[in-house]
Amino acid sequence: MTESKQARLQRHRLQMTLLTVVNSLLQSVVIGLFAASGATTWPLAAAFAVASLVTTGLFALAVARGWVLRLGDARLLHAQLAVNFVVQIAFLIAIPTLWIVFLASTLITCSYAMVALTPRQFTWLWLAYGLATGLALFAGRERFGTPAPTAFNIAILWLFFFMGVRRLAVTGAQFSRLREQLSEKNRQLTVLLERNQAMATHDELTGAFNRRHLMGALADERERARRSDAAFSLAIFDLDWFKAINDGHGHAGGDAVLKAFCDLARAELRANDLFARYGGEEFVLLMPATPTPEAARSVVERVRHAVAAHDWRTVLGGQARGVTVSAGVAMWRSDESPETVLARADAALYDAKHRGRNRSVIAASVADDQLAPA
């Protein structure tokens, strides 16, 4: 069963809180080693261990038990940062010989805050950090010192900074994971936007453009043609006897025929042609840069011949059946509206159906040879 989002957040929250317990333990060990070298006293080292481990341990227990869930992650982080700073600053004053250890520890803690705080919140944290450390350093200025430069003390100091680098690396890994998550979310968002765009402009079944996109493209093409004094044409296709296909092969068979017809049509079109589903088994082909009706009709005839020659048994489960298409072609006339040119193409389509189907007819044709099957 997939882990819920809330469960993942709680698990991550607990992991990060337990990490603060581990960091407190490691720093307590370092302070203890300095006590062993004589740089501080055992009572002070023990006091730091108790203060650090008890506070971080209580936070871990509260998170594990769910006592602080109502605070939210931001407030929980603020509380943890505040308590940690109080402990570190208090012992910076109490053990001034190890001031560099406590000061560096607060600095490393700030790196954790960079992951979760907003720029405004981090600015306030920076100001509070500067004020608190400044007051602490001023308060203990007369007692500051450094551990004796023995090999043991140098090794302890190296160990502390070595572990500090590890803590910084953990923070860096968090940033890397956040970047990866953001990149993945951006990728998913891009896919969703592309899918929504496709759904807004394409017919879901056939993959052809939908009627709304067609009408927008037709209006744009009309304006372009008016500006450039160019010509364009369109054709309306209708699958012949499509109801009989649905009745004989079911709607699944009809859908398969529609999709196959669109694939066949797109394979015969020019790069700048636009093919759209107009409704049911009717499709519209918008053909820019077609100076004559005959030029447009040649494109339509390629589609019609491809449909008539196709082996439809591969689409209809091995059942032998021919599928044909009729079309009406209309060339745009100056200042003609999109609806008018569509109506003329539709009238030509009706003429093609009336004359026996499986043919294309040019709107307002006067030559009989234009009305015959090509």
Catalytic residues: 281
Contact 239, 277 (CB under 8 A): no
Strands of the chain (E only): list them. Answer: 232-239, 274-279, 282-288, 325-331, 360-362
SS3 323: coil
Q: Contact 65/7 with Cβ under 8 angstroms?
A: no
- 157 CB contacts (<8 Å, ≥6 apart)? 100, 101, 147
Distance of CA 254 to the CA centre of its chain: 35
Which one, of 222, 371, 240, 225, lies nearest residue 297 by Cα?
371
- Residue carrying structure tokens 């140098």: 154
Cα 31 to Cα 46: distance, rounded to the nearest angstrom: 9
Q: DSSP for 261-279?
A: HHHHHHHHS-TT-EEEEEE
